[in-house]
Amino acid sequence: MTNNETLAMLERDVTQFNKFRHDNPAAVPDLSGVDLSGANLAQADLNRANLAGANLGNANLEKADLRGADLTSATLHRARLQGVDLQDAKVGGFESEGRICIHSSSFQGVRWDKAQLEEMLRIMNLNERWLIKYEIAPK
């Protein structure tokens, strides 16, 4: 799916977009570099979507399916991420081009894997004023 097709479908109706994804599992949304700031993408099926470099600032992504999505250098500043599934998503590059705003409620119910947590902590450790030491262990 091209940027324009995907964007038009998402802007019309997330439910219809999700139905299209269900009926066409091989179709992978390409939203790379697209401005989705402020968009309501709650519960959107963005599984495996290319969102590299996309602006998702102030977007509502609550309970969205972002498993396997490419969020490299995406801007997530003030995005609502409660309940998002980010398993196997690529989340690197925030330190160069993208931004993410970390707030305690932003990640309620978010499903991370160990590699993603390590990447986020690596990014936070780029700050010259502190060093975050950590151990990630399963419960």
The helix or strand, by DSSP H or E, that contains position 4, with its residue range, turns out to be helix 3-12
Query: How confident is the model over 17-31, as pLDDT tens digits?
Result: 999 999 999 999 999
In a domain, 122, yes or no: no
% of residues, the chain, pLDDT over 70: 86
pTM here is 0.74
Domain range for 107? 1-113
Query: How confident is the model over 96-109, as pLDDT tens digits?
Result: 544 555 555 556 66
Distances (CA, A) of 72 to 54, 75, 98, 137: 9, 9, 8, 25
In a domain, 48, yes or no: yes
User: Is residue 96 within 8 Å of residue 73, measured between CB atoms?
Assistant: yes
118-122 long-range contacts, CB within 8 A, separation 24+:
119/91, 119/92, 120/91
Q: Tell me the pLDDT band of 16, cut-offs 50, 70 and 90.
A: very high
CATH number of the domain where residue 21 is located: 2.160.20.80
Taking residues 89-99, report their average pLDDT: 63
| Residue 22, φ and ψ in degrees, nearest 5 | -65, -45
In a domain, 123, yes or no: no
Q: What is the pLDDT of residue 40?
A: 96
Between CA 8 and CA 91 the distance in angstroms is 25
% of residues, the chain, pLDDT over 90: 44
Q: Both tokens of residue 134?
A: 């950590």
